[in-house]
Amino acid sequence: MLLSACGAAVAQDAANPLTLPAVTVTDGATETATGPVQGYVARRSATATKTDTPLAETPQSISVITADRMRDQGVQTVQDALRYTAGVRGETYGLDSRGDWSTIRGTDPVIYLDGMQQTFGYYASSRPDPFALERIEVLKGPSSVLYGQGTVGGIVNLVSKRPLDTQQGEVQLQYGSFDRKQLAVDVTGPLDEDKTLLYRVVAIGRDSDTQVDKVGDDRYVLMPSLTWRPDSRVEWTVLANFQKDETGSTTQFLPHAGTVLPAPGGLSKIPIDVFMSEPGFDEYDTEQKSLTSLFSYKPDDTWTLRQNLRYSESEVSYQTIYPAFPPALQTNGDIDRVYWVAKPELKYWTVDHQAQADIASGRLRQTVLAGLDYQYAVTKRRWAYGAAGTLNLYNPVYGNFTPPGADDFYDDPDNTVRQTGIYVQDQLTWDERWIAVIGLRQDRAVNDTEGGETQKDTAVTKRLALMYKAANGVSPYLSYAESFQPEIGLDGYGKAFKPLRGKQYEVGVKYEPAGGRGQLSAAVYDLREKNRKSPDPTNPLNQLQTGEARVRGLELEAQLRLTPDWDLIGTYSYTDTEVLEGTNEGKRLPSVPEQMASLWTQHRFSVAGINGFRGGFGIRYIGDSWDGTDSLTTPGYTLFDAMLGYDVGRWSFALNMNNIGDKTYYTTCLARGDCFVGTRRTVVGTASYRF
Q: pLDDT, tens digit, for every residue of 164-208?
A: 999 999 999 999 999 999 999 999 999 999 999 999 999 999 999
Q: What is the mean pLDDT of residues 448-460?
A: 86
Per-residue model confidence (pLDDT) at position 420: 96
Residue 251 main-chain phi, psi, to 5 deg? -80, 120
Place 121 in a pLDDT band, splitting at 50, 70 and 90.
low
Cα separation, 187 vs 199, whole angstroms: 8
- Report the domain count for the chain: 1
* DSSP run (H or E) holding 73: helix 67-73
E strand or H helix at 481: strand 474-485
- Does residue 647 belong to any structural domain of this protein? yes
Asked if residue 593 belongs to a domain, the reply is yes
Listed as own residue / partner, the contacts of 489-493 with beta carbons closer than 8 Å and 24 or more positions apart are 489/121, 489/122, 489/379, 489/415, 490/412, 490/415, 490/449, 491/536, 491/542, 491/543, 491/544, 491/545, 492/536, 492/539, 492/541, 492/542, 493/542
Selected residue with higher pLDDT from 435 and 499: 435
**pLDDT at residue 646 greater than cutoff 90:** yes
Least confident of 26-30, 143-147, 508-512, 650-654: 26-30
Residue 16 reports pLDDT greater than 70? no
Lowest mean pLDDT among 391-400, 489-498, 604-613, 655-664: 489-498
Which pLDDT band holds residue 600 (cuts at 50, 70, 90)? very high
Residue 134 counted as domain residue: yes
In a domain, 587, yes or no: yes
**Percentage of the chain exceeding pLDDT 90:** 80
The beta strands (E) that lie in 362-452 are given as 364-392, 410-411, 415-430, 434-449
Residue 1 has pLDDT above 70, yes or no: no
Residues 221 and 202 sit within 8 Å (Cβ to Cβ): yes
CA distance 295 to 422: 19
**Residue 75 vs residues 339, 505, 570: alpha-carbon distances, Å:** 32, 33, 17
Let me know: does 210 contact 216? Beta carbons within 8 Å: yes
Residue 215 — φ and ψ, nearest 5°? -115, 120
Nearest to 590 by CA among 553, 630, 561: 630
| Residue-level pLDDT at 539 | 65
- Mean per-residue pLDDT for 294-303? 97
Cα dihedral value 1, 122, 420, 531, nearest 10: -100
pTM exceeds 0.75, yes or no: yes
Q: Which residues pair with 342 in a beta bridge?
A: 318, 383
Vertex 13 angle, CA 12 and 17, to 5°:
70
Distance (Å, rounded) from C-alpha 405 to C-alpha 2? 40
Residue type, 172: Q
Mean pLDDT of the chain: 91
Residue 540: pLDDT band by 50, 70, 90 thresholds?
low
State the CB neighbour count (10 A cutoff) for residue 662. Answer: 10
* CATH number reported for the structural domain that contains residue 285 in this entry: 2.40.170.20
Please report the pLDDT score of residue 337 as a whole number: 97
Q: What is the pLDDT of residue 28?
A: 44
Q: Is residue 543 predicted with pLDDT exceeding 80?
A: no
> What was the pLDDT predicted at 592?
94
CA dist., res. 15 & res. 131, Å (int)? 30
98 Cβ contact partners less than 8 Å away, ≥ 6 residues apart: 123, 249, 251, 284, 318
User: Does residue 251 surpass a pLDDT of 70?
Assistant: yes
Mean pLDDT, residues 226-250 taken together: 97
Q: Which amino acid is at 429?
A: T
Q: How many residues does the chain have?
A: 691
Give the number of other CB atoms < 10 A from CB of residue 649. 12
Burial 471-505 (b: 16+ CB within 10 A, else e): eeeebbbebebbbbbbbbbbbeeeebbbbbbbbbe
pLDDT tens across 623-637, in order?
999 887 777 899 999
Range of the domain at 349: 6-690
End-to-end Cα, the chain, rounded Å:
22
Cα-based distances in Å from 541 to 65, 531, 532, 558: 31, 18, 16, 38
Q: Which residues pair with 42 in a beta bridge?
A: none
pLDDT grade for 4, boundaries at 50, 70 and 90: very low
pLDDT at 536 (0 to 100): 66
State the pLDDT at residue 252: 94
If 0-12 CB within 10 Å is exposed, 13-18 middle and 19+ buried, where does residue 363 land?
exposed
Q: Evaluate whether residue 1 is within a structural domain.
A: no
Average the pLDDT over 87-104 and give the result: 92
Higher pLDDT residue, 541 or 195?
Answer: 195
Cα–Cα nearest to 463, from 418, 416, 427: 427
In this predicted structure, the answer to whether residue 345 has a pLDDT above a threshold of 80 is: yes
Angle at 615 between CA 660 and CA 182, to 5 degrees: 65
Distance of CA 599 to the CA centre of its chain: 20
Average pLDDT over residues 17-46: 70
Neighbours of 420 (CB within 10 A): 16
